[in-house]
Amino acid sequence: MKKLSNLFFGFLAVIAFSCDDNSSTDPQPVTKSEQELKGSITQNTTLKANTTYSLSGFVYVEDGATLTIEPGTLIKGGPKAGKGTLIIKRGAKIMAEGTKEKPIVFTSSQPKGSRAPGDWGGLVITGKARHNQASDPVIEGGPDARYGGTNDDDNSGVLKYVRIEFAGVALEQDKEINGLTMGAVGSGTQIDYVQVSYGGDDAFEWFGGTVSPKHLIAYKTTDDMFDTDFGFTGKVQYALGISDPNLSDLAGASNGFESDNDAAGSTNQPLTTGAFSNVTLVGPITPGSGQKFGQGAHLKKGTSLSIYNSVISGWAKAITIDGTSSEGYATNGKLNIKNTVAVGTVGKTGSSDFDANAWFTTAAFNNQVKTQTELGLGKAAPFLPATGSLLLTGGANVNGFENTNYRGAFGNANWTEGWANFDPQNTDY
């Protein structure tokens, strides 16, 4: 059953917590109240913008229930001991549709100036689409939630204009929760304009599934920006990743893209054949002392992920094709990188005679290797192309994606304006 306990601030009386999608909108109070969320949500429930919510432990939205979150709603996670994680189970839905002016924010419960990666858990969505694991797996990170099925069109709801900040609590050594974890999420799910900032693990990770998000921001996350595993086959367009030179995964190495078919590098079906188009990755450029950064794109263990119309910069190793199986997919056209600019080396680690740099610079692929200066990025916003930048041209239409003629996440418009936050540490919540 649903367990909700209330904590109130100021001089307000109790404000009712709606458990019905059809309930009327409460009048705006003079001051916000605060409510704790814990346990399981088993019926349709609405989180109101006039209330601040605090996640305590693993909070589950159970099969058959829909959690609706109003634009402008604030959800805090913490303290660390409580994990503070929201899990949408198979058959449940989250309807979190913010607006540009009123994004929905998941953030740390700590005061400004004291927030850190891993202050709370994160947001986990599990669905009924396919993955390539033999069993009915439990989602990574510790929640009691399984994922997967046979319905690639499955609908887990909507995430739109949503920010997720300071997530990624470490449950055990090397076992953290991602900012946004997607387990076999289906193509009926809409994910658009989502920012993950200062996560303790990956910003976005897909375990199988067919969902096709747009307008994603991975900002100064500890581990990988975009991680795809277990037969992910969706398409992602317009994505920005920015590293903090002084924040990395000291137990491993922080990458822009990290992609496997599975941990064994098998040929289990479906293969990881997902694709990304119009991505801008800004790596650490000059890593801080003791930090461990990997590659802009580490494509390994049997993945056949493809990248189009993108720019990968800031890592000494821009792209690594790792292992003979992924090298083979590059050779036979299942793994593609086209209309893309790399700053750094393009290499491989497998034992075959595959020449990754020669493959990458094949004329028909329209790729380029350039220096950071040659990109022509702006000074005020170093991820935006300045007037005359080579990134404003050179793109090409790709089947399954919106048509663009530029490379990277941005043409002449900045889609981060109005809803994204690049200084959540100093924001008053």
Q: What is the pLDDT of residues 14-66, one digit of tens each?
A: 333 333 343 333 334 435 799 999 999 999 999 999 999 999 999 999 999 99
pLDDT tens-digit series, residues 62-117: 999 999 999 999 999 987 767 899 999 999 999 999 999 999 999 999 999 999 99
Cα separation, 411 vs 308, in Å, equals: 15
Cα separation, 163 vs 421, in Å, equals: 8
- 238 Cβ neighbours under 8 A, 6+ residues apart: 214, 215, 216, 278, 279, 409, 415
Prior bond of 79 cis (ω within 30°):
yes
The confidence score (pLDDT) of residue 30 equals 39
Q: Tell me the pLDDT band of 9, cut-offs 50, 70 and 90.
A: very low
Q: Are strands 190-197 and 295-300 parallel, antiparallel or unpaired?
A: unpaired
**In degrees, to the nearest 5, what angle opens at C-alpha 215 toward C-alphas 109 and 208?**
85
The confidence score (pLDDT) of residue 113 equals 96
Cβ–Cβ contacts within 10 Å for residue 359, how many? Answer: 18
Paired residues of 297 in beta bridges: 257, 319
- The dihedral through the CA atoms of 315, 229, 95, 151 has a sign that is positive
Question: What 8-state DSSP symbol labels residue 146?
Answer: B
The confidence score (pLDDT) of residue 172 equals 66
Structure tokens at 198: 């200062």
35, 63 Cβ separation under 8 angstroms: no
